Amino acid sequence: MKTLLLSAALVVTVSPVARAQNADAIIDRAVAAYAALNSMRAEFRQTLTNPLTGSTQTTSGVIVRKKPNLLSINFESGDRVAADGSTLWLYLPSSTPGQVVRIPYTGRNALAVDPAQEFLDSPRSRFTVSASGTATVGGRPTHAVTLTPKRSNSGFTSAQIWIDDNDSSIRQFDVETSNGLKRHVVITSFSANPTLSRLSFRFSVPKGTKIVDQTTATQF
């Protein structure tokens, strides 16, 4: 099963925003929240739809992240992504059993494995940003924006993200890729700036698992 790696919602305390907002204002406050966050823990639910096969798969997971370069994502399927400060590990037994990918971690690798950073790293220079209305997500009012890549080498053809009106966190997003895969992700719980041990980001290679070295990470 292909796995969408998620970063979770990124939250700081800000004043509630007005109902009417333009797209630039919406994305700018999300970027500010992302930049201000030092650590986070979030739970999420993902639904992956493949129109070619007509299949739909739903999974849940937990992500923790700590600046500047620590990341861990655990899926209920047993898949895991971990960045321990120097190495990015991709362990995906649900789709590629018996191996783990090892990649030198540069920080920029996160664009391939963490959608929150993909969305919020200089978005106005990389995407055409348009307002997409309002919605209530998990009981919280949000404004949505659609991101259309300006270049064809992006990991997706379009993305819609819902930004919380009160704390500027990402509460939900939909992504469509060039091969038609659609991913719907909902943040079900979030903690801003928790105390996290480096042990949370350690990865131990499972016994009998082959290590495959790569120089770059690709989205999957």
Widest CA span of the chain, in angstroms? 56
Give the pair of three-digit tokens for residue 82.
Answer: 């971990």
Give the pair of three-digit tokens for residue 171.
Answer: 């509460």
Alpha helices in the chain (DSSP H): 23-36, 110-113, 115-120, 123-126
Is pTM beyond 0.75 here?
yes
Q: In the chain, what percentage of residues exceed pLDDT 90?
A: 67
Residue 108 — very low, low, confident or very high, per pLDDT cuts 50/70/90? low
Using the predicted structure, report yes or no on whether residue 2 has a pLDDT greater than 60.
no
Using the predicted structure, report yes or no on whether residue 181 has a pLDDT greater than 60.
yes
Using the predicted structure, report yes or no on whether residue 143 has a pLDDT greater than 70.
yes
What does the pLDDT read at residue 218? 57
Distance, in Å, from the CA atom of 29 to the CA atom of 25, rounded to the nearest integer, reads: 6
What does the pLDDT read at residue 212? 96
